[in-house]
Amino acid sequence: MSRRQDTTPDRVDRRDFMLGATTALGAAGLAASLSRPDRAEGAELPWPTSKRKKRKTEQFMLHQDNPVITPLDLGASGRSAGDSFYFHAILRRTPAGPVVGEVFGIKTVVKTAIVQNPSVEQRFTDLVFTFNQRQDQIVVTGIADYPAAGNEFDSERPVVRAVVGGMGAFIGASGELTSTRHSEGGYTQVFSLLK
């Protein structure tokens, strides 16, 4: 049994997160599934689909305030591979609700815009969601499309990334995170963790 002392006024409990994930959660999941690219007709998948089982998940949703972003231009002046964006933001159960944690992250340009699509680049992102004075953490990673001229991805377009681990209350966490940036500010973060 852990002997950690919790001095956080609003202790985070995985079960509490699930309470707020109703209509908005369903809408975010539907939007994420609709935003995924379709396969070309007749195209085969590189893995067998008939033997894959749908695993059970538990879901919870958080609101993320606008991030504080610090860009770092590496190498040649202007956008180039290796340019990074360091950021952090406050997490809440609901917009303007009590603070329950923070998210820290790094986005790194791994593929700059190309002639065929000059306004989009790909960035590799590492995120760490922290709770209870960073004793409980969820680690997320993945690659997503970003506007070449912007610090954040397009609003109202969900981005899905992999949950690759955790510690404390989230030890061994796996699943996925669906992030949606809102034009009026902030993000909705929906976690789907495998049971």
| CB contact set of 130 (below 8 Å; sequence gap of 6+) | 101, 102, 103, 104, 136, 137
Which regions in the chain score pLDDT beneath 70? 1-52
Domain ranges of the chain: 14-33+57-194
pLDDT value at residue 78: 79
Check residue 103 and give its pLDDT: 98
Contact 124, 143 (CB under 8 A): yes
From 124, 126, 71, select the one nearest 103 (Cα to Cα): 126
pLDDT the model gives residue 155: 83
What pLDDT sits at residue 50? 62
> For residue 84, what pLDDT is reported?
93
pLDDT in tens, 134-164: 999 999 999 998 888 778 888 889 999 999 9
Q: What is the pLDDT of residues 54-78, one digit of tens each?
A: 789 999 999 999 999 999 998 888 7
Take residue 16 and report the two structure tokens written for it: 């509490």
Question: Counting Cβ atoms within 10 Å, is residue 60 exposed (0-12), middle (13-18) or buried (19+)?
Answer: buried
d(CA 102, CA 91): 5
Q: What is the pLDDT of residue 162?
A: 97
Q: Residue 69: its pLDDT value, please?
A: 94
> 14-33+57-194, what's its fold?
AOC barrel-like (2.40.480)
CA 160 to chain centre: 7
What's residue 158's pLDDT? 94
**pTM here?**
0.72
**AA identity, residue 32:** A
